[in-house]
């Protein structure tokens, strides 16, 4: 579900249970899928459309947002539009995990560079682990000069490029990589000379090493979650809230490493209000979630009985879970 769809389902379930409550929706993203839509709603601006190379080499339609921010023209690029895991059929992920390309991301950046002072690249939800090699090749082929453009990597994770918490070993299996393929990907990333000086920087491992490639071009790293929090008016909404609900597909240890949940929970904690998480699955312990500022977490799949049911009827499953949560928390 998109951020808008999930927020609407939660609001529907809560209102069903407590029709007298005022429910305010603030769809958010942390650099991954939904990044452009959420910022478009917050900033207005112009959506630009382009056909680019998808992760499997076939053309895919992509968008970016061009908006005026503080007197500068800023392009917001969602890398998942060009190399997202959702663009790779499940039955092709094992065969493509070592060849999927970020070339399309470079093609979007090349187009956006024509009239932008700043390019912010949202990282997350990728189906690639090419260390940004495809992106770098596309920029080189297009002869793009980024000297006078500020690059920002809006990362949804804090992982470095290499090692046990790096791009290949942490995220490779999610993209279809076998243990053997993971080690080949790790070796390939380690051998990319251009990435070595930036490999240990937080966020370098985002989007299969795309973060490292952007860093090699001089990009600064910013938390995608905090960027969206700032631009979407979340803090103003939190000022009037009695309880905050957030979540994602899987609330696990990765959620605590710079993802959206931590940004929302931090804002709630600053105001002394409870933050609840509703996620497809929950595997974080109470101590860990409490340290991050989440008071309670609810699993949609547990509430409706199975992962298959929660995915097969996602909207109604989320509505039902939110209805249950409202019954426990609403005053």
Confidence class for position 75, pLDDT limits 50, 70, 90: very high
Q: What is the pLDDT of residues 87-104, one digit of tens each?
A: 999 999 999 999 999 999
Same domain, 201 and 249: no
Beta bridge partners of 320: none
Comparing 14-28, 66-80, 202-216, 252-266, the range with the smallest average pLDDT is 252-266
Beta bridge partners of 299: 279
Looking at 192, 225, 258, which one is the last position of a domain?
225
- The per-residue pLDDT for 209 is 97
Same domain, 17 and 64: no
Count the helices and strands in the chain (H runs, E runs).
15, 11
Same domain, 97 and 49: yes
Looking at 225, 249, 271, which one is the last position of a domain?
225
**CATH for 246:** 3.40.50.10350
- The per-residue pLDDT for 77 is 97
Average pLDDT over residues 177-197: 98
Same domain, 145 and 128: yes
Q: Please answer whether residues 150 and 117 qualify as being in contact, where contact means their C-beta atoms are separated by less than 8 angstroms.
A: yes
- C-alpha 305/C-alpha 265 separation (Å) is 27
Q: What is the pLDDT of residues 231-280, one digit of tens each?
A: 888 889 999 999 999 988 888 887 877 678 888 999 999 999 999 999 99
- The per-residue pLDDT for 330 is 63
pLDDT over 90 percentage in the chain: 77
Looking at 225, 254, 271, which one is the last position of a domain?
225
- Helix locations, the chain, DSSP H: 3-17, 35-43, 80-83, 93-96, 103-112, 133-142, 179-190, 210-216, 224-231, 234-239, 260-270, 286-292, 300-304, 307-312, 314-329
Q: What is the pTM of this model?
A: 0.88
Comparing 50-54, 106-110, 326-330, the range with the smallest average pLDDT is 326-330
Q: For the chain, give the mean pLDDT.
A: 93
Same domain, 148 and 85: yes
The whole domain housing 309 covers 3-26+233-329
Same domain, 189 and 239: no
- The per-residue pLDDT for 156 is 74
Same domain, 301 and 196: no
- The per-residue pLDDT for 176 is 96
- C-alpha 62/C-alpha 83 separation (Å) is 10
Using the predicted structure, report yes or no on whether residue 43 has a pLDDT greater than 70. Answer: yes
**CATH for 180:** 3.90.1510.10
Same domain, 102 and 169: yes
Q: 154: closest CA among 100, 95, 207, 94?
A: 207
- The per-residue pLDDT for 31 is 84
- The per-residue pLDDT for 36 is 94
- C-alpha 255/C-alpha 102 separation (Å) is 24
Same domain, 8 and 108: no
Same domain, 96 and 192: yes
Helix (H) or strand (E) holding 156: none
- The per-residue pLDDT for 258 is 65
Confidence class for position 331, pLDDT limits 50, 70, 90: low
- C-alpha 285/C-alpha 96 separation (Å) is 34
Distance in Å from the first CA to the final CA of the chain = 28
pLDDT over 70 percentage in the chain: 99
Query: Where would I find the beta strands (DSSP E) of the chain?
Result: 46-53, 59-69, 72-78, 118-123, 150-155, 220-223, 244-246, 250-251, 275-279, 281-282, 296-299
Same domain, 90 and 174: yes
Using the predicted structure, report yes or no on whether residue 1 has a pLDDT greater than 90. Answer: no
Average pLDDT over residues 170-196: 97
Using the predicted structure, report yes or no on whether residue 319 has a pLDDT greater than 90. Answer: yes
- The per-residue pLDDT for 218 is 97
Same domain, 170 and 197: yes
Confidence class for position 107, pLDDT limits 50, 70, 90: very high
Number of domains in the chain: 2
């Amino acid at each position: 579900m998109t951020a808008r769809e999930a927020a609407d389902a939660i609001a529907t379930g809560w209102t069903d249970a407590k029709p007298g409550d005022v429910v305010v929706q603030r769809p958010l993203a942390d650099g991954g899928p939904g990044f452009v839509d959420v910022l478009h709603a917050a900033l207005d601006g112009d959506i630009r459309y382009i056909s680019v190379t998808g992760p499997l080499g076939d053309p895919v339609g992509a968008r970016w947002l061009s908006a005026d921010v503080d007197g500068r023209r800023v392009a917001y690029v969602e890398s998942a539009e060009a190399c997202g895991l959702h663009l790779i059929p499940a039955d092709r992920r094992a065969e493509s995990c070592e060849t999927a390309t970020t070339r399309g991301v470079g093609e979007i950046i090349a187009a956006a560079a024509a009239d932008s002072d700043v390019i912010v690249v949202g990282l997350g939800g990728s189906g690639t682990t090419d260390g940004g090699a495809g992106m770098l090749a596309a920029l080189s082929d297009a002869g793009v000069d980024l000297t006078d453009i500020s690059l920002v990597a809006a990362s949804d994770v804090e992982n470095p490029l290499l090692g046990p918490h790096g791009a290949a070993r942490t995220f490779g299996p999610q993209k279809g990589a076998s243990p053997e393929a993971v080690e080949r990907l790790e070796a390939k990333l380690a051998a990319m000379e251009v990435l070595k000086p930036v490999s240990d920087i937080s966020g370098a491992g985002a989007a299969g090493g795309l973060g490292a490639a952007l860093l090699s071009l001089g990009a600064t790293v910013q938390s995608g979650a905090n960027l969206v929090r700032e631009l979407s008016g979340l803090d103003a909404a939190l000022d009037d809230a009695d309880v905050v609900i957030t979540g994602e597909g899987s609330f696990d240890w990765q959620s605590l490493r710079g993802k959206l949940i931590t940004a929302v929970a931090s804002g709630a904690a600053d105001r002394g209000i409870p933050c609840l998480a509703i996620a497809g699955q929950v595997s974080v312990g109470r101590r860990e979630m409490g340290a991050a500022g989440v008071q309670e977490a609810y699993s949609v799949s547990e509430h409706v009985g199975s992962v298959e049911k929660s995915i097969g009827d996602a909207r109604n499953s989320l509505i039902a879970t939110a209805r249950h949560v409202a019954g426990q928390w609403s005053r």
